[in-house]
A and B are shown apart, each in its own frame.
Chain A
Amino acid sequence: MRFELDSLSRRTGGRTILDGVSFAVESGGFCAVIGPTGCGKTTLLRTADLLVKPSSGRILLDGIDYAGAGSAACTRARRRMAMVMQRPFMLDGTVRRNVEAGLRFRGMKPDPGRIEAGLEVVGLSGFAGRHAKTLSGGEMQKVALARALATDPEILFLDEPLSSVDQGFRPEMRSLIASLHRGRGMTVVMATHDLADALALADHVAVLSEGRMIQHGPVDDVLLRPSNLFVASFSGQRNILRAKFEGARAVSGGLEIVMAEPAEGEGCIVIPTEAVTVSASRPDSSMRNCFPGEVASIEHGPYTDMVSMVTGRATFVAAVTRESTERLGLHPGTAVWISFKANSVRILS
């Protein structure tokens, strides 16, 4: 199902929760709606699933607007969609009863084989007879997922699906969601405040802040080329610097940074950590930004280290492979050369 929101707004009790949100997800796509807690992600999903009426705007499912639809039409539309809430509510009774619920509401007879298969897919084989309300948080989430999928929805809304899952199980849950998306070819819209989830699962990202859509587009676009400070800092960019622009040069922290394009006035620039190179001696390359500096600290990750280096009054963070860290013998105090290309410098609005 192709899903699109057009200038969607929702105001209630004098507050504006959603303000002119617009974005689209192609059929079969996976869009992550990211933003800090309280920015309106849950309301967005609830409105999209036609659970609450928007104050204005359009909700287009395969091109048909349901924003003003009547109760019966909404119910019919909802039967083509499915949603998993942040803390899913388990109906009274067994896991089987929960998973069957959607089918029974549609007046369809549940096929026990399919129910069991559905439970197996989410990793709950043999749970059919358990009392749903006695399960753990993670298990409940899986039941909710199986329950949502049992009705073969054309679009699946997920509200922070990994937030109540233990750290250890997150990768498992992520790959489950990924395989479900690939296997069924359904559209998925997932709300999350965790960047890693978005990066791992989505092909599109929509950034929400205080009810407003800040930026949306393909994942790489948004995260690696943030259009403004909010998206940049939210998406975890480390090298964000205030600078004064003088033509194609940005002056910041006592440094003159060469940019690919000229600019005026003052503002912020961002350099992705992947674009920053660390070397022991002055590199002999075409990178027009080269500064001597010193390692301040190193954050060791499983495969990549984040190396913080100081030059002048500026700090740069580079993503460096473990191997390189060891080969270069990096540790706090090591003298290094920091370099990056002019066209990796991005001006933020």
Chain B
Amino acid sequence: MERLAEAFGIALDLIVTGDPVVMEITMRTLMVSASATIISTLLFVPLGVLIHFTSFPGKRVLTGVIHALYSMPTVFAGLIVFLFLSRVGPLGFLGILFTTKAIVIAEVVLIAPVMLGLVIAALGGITHEVEDTVRALGAGPLQTGLVVIGEARRAIVSALLMSFGRAISEVGAAMMVGGNIAGRTRTLTTAISLGIGKGETAESIALGLILITLALLVSLAVHLLEAGRA
């Protein structure tokens, strides 16, 4: 118990004094997760809009699959990306395995179903009365789409935040495709999992505190958005 308290003290000290290793890992984690979220937004928000507004055979099946993929085991995503990016894999010529780019790709793969599913749900939450009203006022298909998206913007932003939260907490896939290389691909989560194994309790606690703070901030933001909607 004493050792734990001592480690806790060291951890706080590391954070407060801005220990360079801790800061470097934190910045990297934020950059990687933010990039993954931004790329996913550009890809999946329009895709979600498209899926929502188009009716096609098998739409129900597709949304079912998307929801099923919410709980995709992350190491599975990591494995797939690893096999693709490995030098003997189809994208090996890119040479980006064991770089932060690989982690970004793995995180995009992971948050794809979450973001897609939540965006579709957000749009689905806008009743057809909204569409009816706007179309009755003479809005064309594009104008209608924009109004619906506008009405759903809070829920969509929630979706983006939740995806970011998911990306930040990623361990398995980040480990597999990033390699947890010190100074290059080590993130908060991979560093903690390595550190704990090696008994580096204080550093792990420091990183853990930062991680949980980030996660809580994201949750808080989502909560405030949801509350604002009601």
Report whether B140 and A105 are in contact in the complex, using a CB–CB cutoff of 8 Å: yes
Q: On chain A, which size bracket covers the interface? A: 20 to 34
Q: Are A78 and B136 in contact (CB under 8 A)?
A: yes
- Indicate if the CB atoms of B136 and A49 lie closer than 8 Å: yes
A334 to B136, CA, bound (A): 57
- Least Cβ–Cβ distance between B85 and chain A, in angstroms: 43
Contact of A128 with B by CB under 8 A: no
**Contact yes or no, B129 A105, CB < 8 A:** no
* B139 interfacial by beta-carbon distance below 8 Å: yes
Q: How far is the CA of A36 from the CA of B140 in the complex (A)?
A: 33
Quick check: is B150 within 8 A (CB to CB) of the other chain?
Answer: yes
CB of A13, distance to nearest CB on chain B (Å)? 14
* Cβ B135 vs Cβ A151 within 8 A: no
Check: B213 CB closer than 8 A to any chain A CB: no
Q: Is the CB of B136 within 8 A of A105?
A: no
Interface contact A105-B138, CB-CB below 8 Å: yes
Does A46 lie within 8 Å of B138, measured CB to CB? no
- How far is B20's CA from A313's CA once the two chains are assembled, in angstroms? 101
Also in contact, A105 and B133, with CB within 8 A (given A75-B138, A79-B138, A92-B151): no
Q: How far is A105 from B135 in the complex, measured between Cα atoms in Å? A: 9
What residue of chain B has the Cβ atom nearest to residue A50's Cβ?
Answer: B135
**A91: B residues at CB distance < 8 A:** 133-134, 147
Report the minimum CB–CB distance from A333 to chain B (whole Å). 54
Q: Mark B105-130, 1 if CB is under 8 A from A, else 0.
A: 00000000000000000000001011
CB contacts (< 8 Å) of B130 on chain A: these are: 89
CB of A295 within 8 Å of the partner chain = no
| Least CB distance, A9 to chain B, in whole angstroms | 20
Q: Is A286 among interface residues, defined by CB-CB distance under 8 A? A: no
CB nearest to A46 among chain B residues: B132
With A89-B129, A92-B150, A92-B151 already in contact, the answer to whether A83 and B138 are too (CB < 8 A) is: no
B139 contacts A85, C-beta separation under 8 Å: no
Residue in chain B with minimal CB distance to A147? B137
Q: Is the CB–CB distance between B132 and A51 below 8 Å? A: yes
- CB neighbours of A102 from chain B (8 A): 137-138
CB distance from A73 to the nearest CB of B (A): 12
- Chain B residues contacting A51 (CB-CB under 8 Å) are 132, 135-136
Expressed in whole angstroms, the minimum distance between the Cβ of A192 and any Cβ of chain B is 18
CB distance from A91 to the nearest CB of B (A): 7
Chain A residue contacts of B141, Cβ below 8 A: 71, 75
Inter-chain CA distance A101–B150, complex, in Å, is 14
Query: A82 near B: Cβ within 8 Å?
Result: yes
* Chain B residue nearest to A82 in the complex (CB): B136
Chain B residues in 8 Å Cβ range of A85: 129, 132-133, 136
Of all chain A residues, which has the CB nearest B151?
A: A92
Taken together as a complex, chains A and B put the C-alpha atoms of A49 and B131 apart, in Å, by 13
B126 nearest CB neighbor, chain A only: A89
Query: What distance in Å separates the Cβ of B136 from its nearest Cβ neighbour in chain A?
Result: 4
How many angstroms between the C-alpha atoms of A251 and B149 in the bound complex? 66
| Given A71-B141, A105-B143: A89 touches B133 (CB 8 Å cut-off) | yes
In this complex, the member of B130, B133, B134, B135 whose beta carbon has the largest number of chain A beta carbons within 10 angstroms is B133
A172 to B45, CA, bound (A): 46
Q: Which residues of B contact A87 (CB under 8 A)?
A: 129
Question: Do A88 and B138 have beta carbons less than 8 Å apart?
Answer: no
B87 → chain A, closest Cβ, in Å? Answer: 49
Asked if A106 CB lies within 8 Å of chain B CBs, one says yes
Bound together, the chains give a CA A186 to CA B136 distance in angstroms of 17
| 0/1 interface trace, chain B 59-95, chain A, CB 8 Å (1 if under) | 0000000000000000000000000000000000000
Residues of chain B within 8 A of A106, CB atoms compared: 138
Of all chain B residues, the one with the shortest Cβ separation from A52 is B132
Distance of A67 Cα from B127 Cα, bound (Å) = 24
* Distance (whole angstroms) from the CB of B16 to the closest CB of chain A: 43
Q: Within A60-108, which residues are at the interface with B (CB < 8 Å)?
A: 71-72, 75, 78-79, 81-83, 85, 87-89, 91-92, 101-102, 105-106
Cα distance, A211 to B71, chains bound together (Å): 45
Provide the bound-state CA to CA distance between A83 and B130, in Å: 13
Residues of A within 8 A of B150 (CB): 92
Bound-complex Cα distance A51 to B131 (A): 9
Question: Which residues of A are in contact with B by a Cβ distance under 8 Å?
Answer: 46, 49, 51, 71-72, 75, 78-79, 81-83, 85, 87-89, 91-92, 101-102, 105-106, 147-148, 151
- 5 A-B pairs with the lowest CB-CB distances in the bound complex, closest first: A79-B138, A83-B136, A102-B137, A105-B139, A89-B133
Q: Told that A78-B138, A88-B133 touch, could you supply 14 new A-B pairs with CB distance under 8 A?
A: A51-B136, A71-B141, A78-B136, A82-B136, A85-B129, A85-B136, A89-B129, A89-B133, A91-B134, A105-B137, A105-B138, A147-B137, A148-B136, A151-B137
Q: Can you list 28 pairs linking A and B with CB atoms under 8 Å apart?
A: A46-B132, A51-B132, A51-B136, A71-B141, A75-B135, A75-B138, A75-B139, A75-B140, A78-B135, A78-B136, A82-B137, A83-B132, A83-B136, A87-B129, A89-B129, A89-B130, A89-B133, A91-B133, A91-B134, A91-B147, A102-B137, A102-B138, A105-B138, A105-B139, A148-B136, A148-B137, A151-B137, A151-B138
